[in-house]
């Protein structure tokens, strides 16, 4: 059963501007340690950041809380499965919180174009 859905569209220019103004502080605020490592290898870092921002914002909309504990930027991570499909991963407090609400699976789709990044998150559960 679908328990929630959220989408987000973000301007690459906006995210790039925030990153250039706040630098490392923004990276540590937005990205998990694993994402920070992946970020350091990106040829287009503004696209990487915008897609991660959109994915996390879409997730916060899907659960209906916005960004407040335990739904925090660094509690939500992104990764890829063996076939390369994007997926969400969660830090322990958030993972437990999701299980308590019957959320057993998440679906993530992310994409970017010349000036924007878009993400859609669907939550499945009992």
Tell me whether residue 38 is annotated as binding. no
CB of 62 within 8 A of CB of 122?
yes
For 48-101, how does the pLDDT look when each residue is reduced to its tens digit (9 = 90+)?
A: 999 999 999 999 999 999 999 999 999 999 999 999 999 999 999 999 999 999
Tell me whether residue 35 is annotated as binding. no
CB of 8 within 8 A of CB of 54?
yes
pTM: 0.95
State yes or no: pLDDT of 45 exceeds 90. yes
For 113-126, how does the pLDDT look when each residue is reduced to its tens digit (9 = 90+)?
A: 999 999 999 999 98
Q: Which domain holds residue 51?
A: 2-125
Q: Residue 69: its pLDDT value, please?
A: 93
Quickly list H helices, 40-102: 45-63, 92-100
Domain count, the chain: 1
CB of 79 within 8 A of CB of 69?
no
Angle at which helices 45-63 and 12-22 cross, to 10°:
110
CATH number at residue 72: 3.90.470.20
């Amino acid at each position: 059963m679908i328990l929630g859905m959220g989408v987000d569209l973000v301007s690459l220019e906006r995210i790039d501007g925030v990153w250039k103004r706040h630098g490392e502080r923004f990276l540590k605020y937005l990205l998990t340690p694993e994402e920070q490592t992946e970020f350091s290898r990106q040829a287009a870092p503004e696209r990487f950041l915008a897609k991660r921002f959109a994915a996390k914002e879409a997730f916060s909309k899907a659960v209906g809380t916005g960004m407040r504990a335990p739904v925090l930027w660094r509690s939500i991570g992104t990764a890829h499965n063996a076939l390369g499909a994007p997926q969400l991963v969660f830090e322990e407090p958030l993972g437990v919180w999701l299980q308590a609400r019957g959320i057993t699976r998440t679906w993530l789709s992310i994409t970017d174009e010349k000036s924007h990044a878009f993400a859609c998150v669907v939550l499945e559960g009992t």
